[in-house]
Protein backbone atom coordinates (compact mmCIF):
# COMPACT_ATOMS: atom_id res chain seq x y z
CA UNK A 1 0.00 0.00 0.00
CA UNK A 2 0.98 3.63 -0.24
CA UNK A 3 3.14 4.99 2.56
CA UNK A 4 0.43 7.50 3.50
CA UNK A 5 -2.03 4.62 3.88
CA UNK A 6 0.29 2.90 6.35
CA UNK A 7 0.61 6.10 8.38
CA UNK A 8 -3.16 6.75 8.44
CA UNK A 9 -4.02 3.14 9.35
CA UNK A 10 -1.47 3.13 12.17
CA UNK A 11 -2.71 6.49 13.45
CA UNK A 12 -6.27 5.14 13.43
CA UNK A 13 -5.27 1.99 15.31
CA UNK A 14 -3.45 4.13 17.87
CA UNK A 15 -6.45 6.46 18.26
CA UNK A 16 -8.83 3.52 18.76
CA UNK A 17 -6.49 1.89 21.31
CA UNK A 18 -6.15 5.20 23.17
CA UNK A 19 -9.91 5.71 23.17
CA UNK A 20 -10.53 2.21 24.55
CA UNK A 21 -7.79 2.49 27.16
CA UNK A 22 -6.69 6.07 27.88
CA UNK A 23 -3.91 4.78 30.15
CA UNK A 24 -2.27 2.77 27.38
CA UNK A 25 1.51 3.07 27.40
CA UNK A 26 1.93 3.18 23.62
CA UNK A 27 4.64 5.53 22.35
CA UNK A 28 2.73 7.36 19.60
CA UNK A 29 5.69 9.15 17.96
CA UNK A 30 7.75 5.95 17.72
CA UNK A 31 4.76 3.94 16.49
CA UNK A 32 3.91 6.52 13.81
CA UNK A 33 7.53 6.85 12.63
CA UNK A 34 7.64 3.06 12.42
CA UNK A 35 4.55 3.15 10.20
CA UNK A 36 6.40 4.86 7.34
CA UNK A 37 10.12 4.16 7.88
CA UNK A 38 10.12 0.80 6.09
CA UNK A 39 9.50 2.68 2.81
CA UNK A 40 12.16 5.37 3.26
CA UNK A 41 15.22 3.45 2.02
CA UNK A 42 13.45 2.19 -1.10
CA UNK A 43 12.08 5.68 -1.68
CA UNK A 44 15.56 7.20 -1.57
CA UNK A 45 16.95 4.48 -3.85
CA UNK A 46 14.08 5.07 -6.28
CA UNK A 47 14.67 8.84 -6.32
CA UNK A 48 18.36 8.27 -7.08
CA UNK A 49 17.37 5.80 -9.80
CA UNK A 50 14.91 8.28 -11.36
CA UNK A 51 17.49 11.08 -11.36
CA UNK A 52 20.02 8.79 -13.04
CA UNK A 53 17.43 7.48 -15.55
CA UNK A 54 16.16 10.93 -16.51
CA UNK A 55 19.69 11.88 -17.49
CA UNK A 56 20.19 8.65 -19.43
CA UNK A 57 16.66 8.43 -20.90
CA UNK A 58 15.24 11.90 -21.52
CA UNK A 59 12.28 10.34 -23.37
CA UNK A 60 10.71 9.47 -20.00
CA UNK A 61 11.09 5.67 -19.87
CA UNK A 62 11.77 5.38 -16.15
CA UNK A 63 10.60 2.01 -14.96
CA UNK A 64 10.87 -1.46 -16.41
CA UNK A 65 13.30 -4.32 -16.36
CA UNK A 66 16.23 -2.25 -15.05
CA UNK A 67 14.26 -1.17 -11.97
CA UNK A 68 13.00 -4.72 -11.40
CA UNK A 69 16.52 -6.11 -11.73
CA UNK A 70 17.80 -3.69 -9.10
CA UNK A 71 14.84 -4.37 -6.80
CA UNK A 72 15.10 -8.16 -6.97
CA UNK A 73 18.87 -8.74 -7.32
CA UNK A 74 20.96 -5.78 -6.13
CA UNK A 75 22.14 -6.35 -2.53
CA UNK A 76 21.87 -2.65 -1.62
CA UNK A 77 18.27 -2.52 -2.80
CA UNK A 78 17.37 -5.82 -1.13
CA UNK A 79 18.86 -4.77 2.22
CA UNK A 80 17.39 -1.26 1.92
CA UNK A 81 13.90 -2.61 1.32
CA UNK A 82 13.98 -5.44 3.84
CA UNK A 83 15.91 -4.02 6.80
CA UNK A 84 12.66 -2.64 8.26
CA UNK A 85 10.17 -4.75 6.26
CA UNK A 86 11.24 -8.35 6.79
CA UNK A 87 9.31 -10.05 9.62
CA UNK A 88 12.47 -11.47 11.25
CA UNK A 89 14.17 -8.07 11.26
CA UNK A 90 11.08 -6.38 12.68
CA UNK A 91 10.67 -9.09 15.32
CA UNK A 92 14.28 -8.47 16.32
CA UNK A 93 13.55 -4.73 16.75
CA UNK A 94 10.47 -5.44 18.86
CA UNK A 95 12.31 -8.07 20.93
CA UNK A 96 15.37 -5.92 21.60
CA UNK A 97 13.15 -2.93 22.39
CA UNK A 98 11.03 -5.00 24.75
CA UNK A 99 14.06 -6.51 26.45
CA UNK A 100 15.77 -3.16 26.94
CA UNK A 101 12.73 -1.03 27.67
CA UNK A 102 10.39 -3.25 29.57
CA UNK A 103 12.80 -5.67 31.20
CA UNK A 104 15.85 -3.48 31.87
CA UNK A 105 14.27 -0.03 32.06
CA UNK A 106 16.41 1.53 29.32
CA UNK A 107 14.57 4.73 28.40
CA UNK A 108 14.83 4.41 24.62
CA UNK A 109 14.00 0.68 24.65
CA UNK A 110 10.24 1.25 24.82
CA UNK A 111 10.48 3.67 21.88
CA UNK A 112 12.42 1.06 19.90
CA UNK A 113 9.77 -1.53 20.70
CA UNK A 114 6.91 0.72 19.52
CA UNK A 115 8.91 1.73 16.45
CA UNK A 116 9.23 -2.00 15.69
CA UNK A 117 5.50 -2.51 16.23
CA UNK A 118 4.81 0.27 13.68
CA UNK A 119 7.20 -1.41 11.23
CA UNK A 120 5.55 -4.78 11.90
CA UNK A 121 2.07 -3.45 11.11
CA UNK A 122 3.43 -1.87 7.92
CA UNK A 123 5.15 -5.12 6.93
CA UNK A 124 2.06 -7.24 7.63
CA UNK A 125 -0.08 -5.03 5.40
CA UNK A 126 2.57 -5.05 2.66
CA UNK A 127 2.80 -8.85 2.74
CA UNK A 128 -0.95 -8.99 2.10
CA UNK A 129 -1.00 -6.32 -0.64
CA UNK A 130 2.00 -7.22 -2.83
CA UNK A 131 1.68 -10.12 -5.23
CA UNK A 132 5.33 -10.91 -5.93
CA UNK A 133 7.31 -7.95 -4.62
CA UNK A 134 6.47 -7.81 -0.93
CA UNK A 135 8.92 -8.14 1.95
CA UNK A 136 11.24 -11.13 2.07
CA UNK A 137 9.77 -13.44 4.68
CA UNK A 138 13.00 -14.91 6.06
CA UNK A 139 15.49 -12.13 5.38
CA UNK A 140 18.45 -11.99 6.19
CA UNK A 141 18.72 -15.79 6.00
CA UNK A 142 16.78 -16.18 2.74
CA UNK A 143 16.94 -13.47 0.06
CA UNK A 144 14.25 -14.93 -2.22
CA UNK A 145 11.10 -16.15 -0.42
CA UNK A 146 8.10 -13.82 -0.57
CA UNK A 147 4.41 -14.44 0.07
CA UNK A 148 2.52 -14.48 -3.23
CA UNK A 149 -0.53 -12.48 -2.24
CA UNK A 150 -3.54 -12.84 -4.53
CA UNK A 151 -3.89 -9.03 -4.32
CA UNK A 152 -1.58 -6.24 -5.39
CA UNK A 153 -2.19 -2.59 -4.60
CA UNK A 154 -0.34 -1.50 -7.77
CA UNK A 155 -0.34 -4.40 -10.27
CA UNK A 156 -3.46 -4.40 -12.45
CA UNK A 157 -3.05 -8.13 -13.10
CA UNK A 158 -3.75 -8.73 -9.42
CA UNK A 159 -6.59 -6.37 -8.59
CA UNK A 160 -5.06 -2.89 -8.55
CA UNK A 161 -7.87 -1.60 -10.77
CA UNK A 162 -10.31 -2.04 -7.89
CA UNK A 163 -7.87 -1.99 -4.96
CA UNK A 164 -6.27 1.40 -5.67
CA UNK A 165 -9.58 3.32 -5.66
CA UNK A 166 -10.63 1.53 -2.46
CA UNK A 167 -7.32 2.50 -0.87
CA UNK A 168 -7.92 6.14 -1.79
CA UNK A 169 -11.40 6.00 -0.26
CA UNK A 170 -9.94 4.39 2.87
CA UNK A 171 -7.35 7.17 3.11
CA UNK A 172 -9.97 9.91 2.84
CA UNK A 173 -12.22 8.21 5.41
CA UNK A 174 -9.34 7.69 7.85
CA UNK A 175 -8.06 11.24 7.39
CA UNK A 176 -11.52 12.75 8.03
CA UNK A 177 -12.17 10.43 10.97
CA UNK A 178 -8.79 11.23 12.54
CA UNK A 179 -9.25 14.98 12.00
CA UNK A 180 -12.73 14.97 13.54
CA UNK A 181 -11.59 12.72 16.38
CA UNK A 182 -8.64 14.98 17.20
CA UNK A 183 -10.81 18.12 16.93
CA UNK A 184 -13.41 16.62 19.27
CA UNK A 185 -10.70 15.58 21.73
CA UNK A 186 -9.25 19.09 21.85
CA UNK A 187 -12.69 20.66 22.08
CA UNK A 188 -13.63 18.43 25.03
CA UNK A 189 -10.40 19.31 26.88
CA UNK A 190 -11.08 23.02 26.45
CA UNK A 191 -14.67 22.85 27.72
3-state secondary structure of 18: helix
What pLDDT, on a 0 to 100 scale, did the predictor assign at position 191? 47
The span from the CA of 126 to the CA of 39, in Å, is 10
pTM of the complete model: 0.90
Q: What is the pLDDT of residues 60-69, one digit of tens each?
A: 666 778 899 9
Using pLDDT thresholds of 50, 70 and 90, give the confidence band for residue 34. Answer: very high
pLDDT mean across residues, the chain? 92
For a pLDDT cut of 70, what percent of the chain falls above it?
93
Q: Cis omega before residue 19 (within 30°)?
A: no
Top-confidence residue, 126 or 52: 126
Distances (CA, A) of 56 to 49, 65, 68, 76: 10, 15, 17, 21
Please state the domain extents for the chain. 3-150
Alpha helix stretches (DSSP H) within the chain: 3-20, 28-36, 40-56, 65-73, 75-82, 87-98, 107-129, 160-190
**Backbone torsions φ then ψ of 15, nearest 5 degrees:** -60, -40
Q: Are 84 and 112 in contact (CB under 8 A)?
A: no
Q: What is the pLDDT of residues 127-149, one digit of tens each?
A: 999 999 999 999 999 999 999 99
Amino acid sequence: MLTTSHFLMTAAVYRIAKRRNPDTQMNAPALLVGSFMPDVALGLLTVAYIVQRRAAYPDGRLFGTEFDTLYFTDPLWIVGHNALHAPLMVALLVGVGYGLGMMRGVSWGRALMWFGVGCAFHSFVDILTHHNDGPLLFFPFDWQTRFASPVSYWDRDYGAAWFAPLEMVLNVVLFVWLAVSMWRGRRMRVV
